[in-house]
Each structure stands twice: as structure tokens, then as C-alpha cells.
Amino acid sequence: MGYQKRHPIRDILDLQDRMNRVFEESFRDSEHVRLPGRWNPQVDVAEDDEALYIRAELPGVKREDISLDLSDGVLTISGSKPFTHDNRSENYYMIERQYGTFRRTFNIPRAVDVHTIQAKLEKGILEVRVPKLNDIGGRKIPIIER
């Protein structure tokens, strides 16, 4: 794999995402009421011969509340899920569902076709399909003997 330009801000944001997940997992069992804030959707990343796939669980999130951006080889999924309740006189004893803003970032390999990326939201799952390039400009170099 060739040289990849480092982005210090992206590295810091990735570290923050990882640290948030560690703290959330540490306190998950002891915390019963969560305040609306930042949350991290669960994500699967897979690939086959044709594409890279990113699937994020976003139950209850509307399509118009999701943003998908690609910049400098980094794909960012972000958005929000507002905390709503119909009966304002209710007192909550437990809130386990997640609300608030979310943001996940993924480094995308250079050997993909960024112009044909597709995304769909179906039954609370956002699937992003990133097609691979057929010809990435590589070739076999013969070695001659003299």
C-alpha cells in the first residue's frame, strides 16, 4: 500500500470515538437513565470482490437527519435522533434507547470509485456501498537478466 497523508485532527476524532465507546461500555450496566447527548451507532464493515460495505444501525433515525460526507479519503456518517416523548407528565425511571447526535468516521482506501458510492436506509439500517476500482493502475513488472 502506498503513502497515505496523515490528518492529525481525524486521528484525534477517531481516538475520541474509541474513548467514548470504552466509557460507554464500562458504565453500560450501572447506568439506568441516559441523558440525550452523543452516541455511537453500531457498525459492520465488510467487503467482497466488487465493493466495500458499511452498515450502521440507526433505528428511529429519519433519512433527512443523516448526513454522509466524503473528504480526503474519510467517509463520515453523522446525524441526530431527537429525544421525544408524547406524555410530558411522565417521570422516567429508565432510559436505555440512545438519543442525540452521532458521528462515525471511516478511512476509505484509494482503490475505490468515489463517484459511484451509494447509500440506502432500510428498516433502520444504513448501508453504504463503496465500489472498488477495476483497474487501480498497477501492473506486473518483468525482471530481465543481463
Q: Which long-range contacts link 9-13 to residues 24+ away (Cβ below 8 Å)? A: 10/72, 10/74, 10/105, 13/103, 13/105
Position 31 scores a pLDDT of 47
All structural domains of the chain: 8-131 (2.60.40.790)
Residue 24 has pLDDT above 70, yes or no: no
> Given the DSSP bridges, would you call strands 43-47 and 51-57 parallel, antiparallel or unpaired?
antiparallel
Position 20 scores a pLDDT of 76
Query: What confidence tens digit (pLDDT) does each residue in 103-141 have?
Result: 999 998 888 898 899 999 999 999 999 999 876 566 677
Query: What confidence tens digit (pLDDT) does each residue in 29-69 have?
Result: 544 444 557 888 999 999 999 999 999 999 999 999 999 99
Query: Dihedral of CA 20/21/25/31: which sign?
Result: positive
